[in-house]
Each structure stands twice: as structure tokens, then as C-alpha cells.
Amino acid sequence: MRELLLAYGIFAMYYVMTINTIYLGIITFSFKKIVEIIKETFYSRYEPLSGSKYVPPISVLVPAFNEELTIKENVRSLLALHYPTHEVIVVNDGSEDDTLKVLIDEFRLNYYKPTFMKDTIATAEVKGVYYNPEYPNLYLVDKENGGKADSLNAGINLSHYSLISSIDADSLLENDALIRIARKYMERPDEYVAIGGNVRIANGCEIANGMVKKVQLPKKLLPMMQTVEYIKAFLGGRIGWSEINGLIIVSGAFGVFKKEYVIKVGGYRGGYPGEDMNIIIKLHRYMLDNDLSYKIDFCPDAVCWTQAPDTFKILGSQRKRWGRGNLKNMIEEGMYMFMRPKYKIMGWLTIPYNIIFETLSPYFRITGFLSLIGYSLLDMTGWKIIAVFMLINVLYGTLLGLGSLLLEEMAFQRYPRIRDYFKMVLYTILMFFGYRQLGIVWRFLGHIDFMRKNNTWGTMTRTSWNEGVEKDQAA
């Protein structure tokens, strides 16, 4: 037993060192890219593009299930975007609340039979399409419940343009978000197949008429934790991964895709959450299988604001769902590409990293904690040595988190007050004392749900942007 624990302890030490080293490499790529991003952010002029006929038109897809509290503001913000030609397609996925009625009443929409929709991708039954010529770029699709992926596929079937953008119904885009991503497509139209936007936490911000008027940090504990977590994931992680064309996910909250390739890979996968990761993996695989030149990128200055869960129940439900989606994607798609030379960065680095350090992380970390208990019970090491090892791990992780905050301050400065920066530093440290451990447990419970074939979406909370009214939804 002692020899087994000792061997596992050595393995755990190298496991932690390896994951931190890889993440250090990724954040180094992020810093390498940040100079170019700063130039784009401060010196590029987007206003002339807002009226240019050369900007590619975009179909914005908004899947909605029980979104009556936020959907009106969301749609108004999308209609008001500074973009030459775009359409907004809201897909009501069999909502059990007044989502459909709210939109019909707000925009005075009229019913049409869905005869003009294409059957490009199979979906649940579409009951009707609603439209009002006074809002020529707004469509409302009403369909039987089939899940988020099914709703996106229904939106694709109705869409008229070659670029599609997926937006969560509880999210708000900044006015210039689409134009910033469109500029990338205009620069290299034959190369980009997908570009993700930057998702930020809206809790605590001042919202009016579907727009973020004043950026402020959340006042509650959990949204604040998620704020620094998202900064680390998007700025410290996705900038670096996209630099080496190894991005494995474009957030379902905001991304822009070439429709022809989404259709070629069969559209979004239903049946389990994680459709945003699944579509990106399938796009990588398709392009590499067909030896096509391509790029899947991340645009950090194209910002989407989203509501973050503010209770442990809702956050836990979300993270368990993410855990299920990650596991299913690695089983269905990741293992096929794992360590296969034809899949280049995806096969040699991205997929192995995700399987070993994301999917399997709960098992290694939980057993690592149990091994520490075993060391103590068998008197194999003193508590001081264990404490020093844990302290080094916390300090290293904190350093990486601070690096992400530095990227934020260098390029974007969305939180201008000095006290905001120190507050984010504090929460970057506090994350290691309970929050990260909870995340591991939730991911593990998500794997158990997967094995039990529990495919419920879980409980979510929607809060009215204007009224602060909360309502639970369960699917």
C-alpha cells in the first residue's frame, strides 16, 4: 500500500506540473498575440464598415426555451446592432411560459405556415413562422421542443445568409460585436470557418434598452467568481489556443460560422448538451479529413454579455451539464482524433489535453486528495510538506490567473476603477479555496449523470434585465 501511494504521489506531482506547464505555454501564446489585438482594438475603424455594402450579411439565430423575462430585451438589442445587413431568427423551442406571446405582442407578429422553410437539416416539427413587415429582419419560428441544438438547426433551415451567428437568449451583444467578427471574415474570406466572441458576465452591470450602459463587477459571490473565471478561460486560454489553431470550443453564447460547413458536418448535434464544443470538433475534423486550409479563431473584442448563475443550485446544474457534454464529446469525437498525425494540433495537443486534463481531471484530483489522506494515516509525510506542495500549486495557479487579468488590463480595460482590479485579484486567489474544488465535484457528478443517461437540462434562472424578477425553468 505504501509503495502504491508513493508511486501515485509521484504521478500526481508530474500531472500537476504538466497541466500548469501546458497552460503556461498557452497563456504565453496569448501574450504573444495581445500586441496585435491591442492594435486592432484601438486603431481599427469599424464605423465605416457599418454602412458598407461589402460587409457579409449574417443570420443571427436565437434558440429560446422559457425566456419570457429576457427575450424582449435580447431581440431589441439584436435588431439595433450596428450592422449593414442581418436578420434575427428567434426559435421558440416549445416554451412552457409566455415566450411566444411576449414576442408576438411586442413586435405585432403574424402567423405564416412554414412552407417556405428548407428541410436541409432534420428537426422537430415546426408549427409556424411569425413575421411583421414593419420589422423586415425579424423572424420567429415556433416548433416542438427538441433542445437547443435542434432549435439552431431549425434556424439554419430558415436562414437566408451564408454566415450564421448563434446567440443565447439570455445574452446581449455590444453594438459593434458582429462588425468586429465580420472584419475578420472580410480579411480572409476563404480561410475562416468559425469565429467565437468574448463572453463577459453582465451581473452587476447597468442595463437599459437591451444594452450594457455601465460596466460594473457583480456584487454577489458566485457571479464574481465566474467573472475572473471567464477572463482566465477566454483571454488566458482561448486567445492562445486560437493562435495555434487548436481551439476546441466556440461558446454557444456567441459565435459566427460559415453555414455551408455547418451543414456539411450535419448541423448541431442534439441529444446531449455540449453542442457548441461538438460543432467545433466536427468542423476541425471535416477540414482536416478533406485537407482544406482553414482557421477557427477567437475575437476577444467582440463582446457578448450574459447572465451568470448566482446560486449554488443553478451553478451546479450548469457545471454538471457541461461535464456531461464534455465527456460525450470526448467519447464520440475526441477518441477518434486522439494522437492521430493527420489531425495535427487537434490530434496531438488539443484533444489529448482535453481528455487528460479536463475530462479525466475529476478522477485524478479526487484520488489525489484521497492519497493525501492516506499519506497522513500511514505517516508517510508530514503535514508541512503537504501544505507546502498545496501552497505552491495555489501560487502557480494564481500567477496564471493574474496573467489573464494583466491581458485584460493591457488590451481592454473594461473595469476602469483600480479597486475593481484589486477585487478581481482577490477573487482570483479565493477561487482556490472551495470554488475550484466544487467545480471538480460537479463535473464528476455530471459524469455520473451521463452514465445514468440522465439527459435533463437541469434548473436555470432567468432574471429580467429591467425588473430583477427571477423565475426558474426546468427542461
Residue 261 forms part of a structural domain: yes
Q: pLDDT value at position 302?
A: 92
Give the Cα separation of 383 and 427 in Å (integer): 26
**Could you give the number of structural domains in the chain?**
1
Instruction: Return the ∠ at Cα 277 (arms to 275 and 282), rounded to 5°.
Output: 90
Angle of the 361-377 helix axis to the 436-451 helix axis, nearest 10: 120
CB 171 within 8 A of CB 305: yes
Residues 132-179 pLDDT 10s: 999 999 999 999 999 999 999 999 999 999 999 999 888 889 888 999
In the block, residue with C-alpha cell 465527456: 327
- The residues near 456 (Cβ < 8 Å, ≥ 6 apart) are 474, 475
Quote the mean pLDDT of the chain. 87
Instruction: Return the ∠ at Cα 60 (arms to 55 and 62), rounded to 5°.
Output: 170
Residue 226 forms part of a structural domain: yes
CB 173 within 8 A of CB 254: yes
Residue 99 forms part of a structural domain: no
Residue 294 forms part of a structural domain: yes
How many beta carbons lie within 10 A of that of residue 144, not counting itself? Answer: 13
Q: What is the CATH number of the domain that holds 221?
A: 3.90.550
Residue 105 forms part of a structural domain: no
Query: Looking at this protein, which amino acid is placed at residue 6?
Result: L
Pairing of strands 126-131, 254-258: unpaired
Cell digits of residue 136: 423586415
Identify the weakest region by mean pLDDT among 8-22, 172-186, 205-219, 417-431.
Answer: 8-22
Host domain of residue 245: 19-56+162-352
Give the Cα separation of 155 and 139 in Å (integer): 9
pLDDT value at 193 more than 50? yes
In the block, residue with C-alpha cell 501560487: 395
Q: pLDDT value at position 471?
A: 37
pLDDT value at 461 more than 70? no
Q: Concatenated DSSP letters for 356-382?
A: IIIISHHHHHHHHHHHHHHHHHTT-S-
CB 308 within 8 A of CB 199: no
Cell digits of residue 311: 446560486
Instruction: Return the ∠ at Cα 99 (arms to 98 and 103), rounded to 5°.
Output: 110
Give the Cα separation of 34 and 410 in Å (integer): 8
Give the Cα separation of 413 and 159 in Å (integer): 36
DSSP state of 220: S
Query: Looking at this protein, which amino acid is placed at residue 266?
Result: G
Q: How far is CA 136 from the centre of its chain?
A: 30
In the block, residue with C-alpha cell 476602469: 416
Q: pLDDT value at position 414?
A: 87
What would the mean pLDDT of 218-226 be, rounded to a whole number? 95
Cell digits of residue 56: 457579409
Cell digits of residue 241: 489556443
Q: How far apart are the first and last CA of the chain?
A: 46
* DSSP H helices in 198-334: 221-231, 239-243, 259-264, 275-289, 312-329
Q: pLDDT value at position 36?
A: 82
Q: pLDDT value at position 380?
A: 65
What are residue 349's phi and psi, to 5 degrees?
-130, -55
pLDDT value at 467 more than 70? no
Residue 339 forms part of a structural domain: yes
Identify the weakest region by mean pLDDT among 32-41, 217-226, 370-379.
Answer: 370-379
Residues 431-445 pLDDT 10s: 989 999 999 999 999
Identify the weakest region by mean pLDDT among 249-263, 328-342, 384-398.
Answer: 384-398
Beta bridge mates, 329: none
How many beta carbons lie within 10 A of that of residue 54, not counting itself? Answer: 8
Burial class of residue 396 (count of CB atoms within 10 Å of its CB; 0-12, 13-18, 19+): middle
The sign of the torsion formed by the CA atoms of 419, 425, 426, 428 equals positive
Q: pLDDT value at position 229?
A: 95
Q: pLDDT value at position 358?
A: 93
What band does 473 get if pLDDT is binned at 50, 70 and 90? very low
Residue 253 forms part of a structural domain: yes
DSSP state of 306: E
User: pTM score, two decimals?
Assistant: 0.90
64 sits in the region (left: phi over 0; alpha: psi -120 to 50; else beta) called beta
What are residue 107's phi and psi, to 5 degrees?
-110, 10
Q: pLDDT value at position 460?
A: 60
In the block, residue with C-alpha cell 475603424: 45
Residue 422 forms part of a structural domain: no
Residues 53-99 pLDDT 10s: 789 999 999 999 998 888 888 898 899 888 999 999 999 999 999 99
What band does 475 get if pLDDT is binned at 50, 70 and 90? very low
What would the mean pLDDT of 23-51 be, rounded to a whole number? 77
Cell digits of residue 192: 475562416
Query: Looking at this protein, which amino acid is placed at residue 415?
Result: Y
How many beta carbons lie within 10 A of that of residue 422, not counting itself? Answer: 10
> In what order do the strands lie in the sheet containing 295-306?
110-112, 126-131, 138-143, 86-93, 58-64, 163-167, 254-258, 192-201, 295-306, 171-173
Give the Cα separation of 320 and 146 in Å (integer): 20
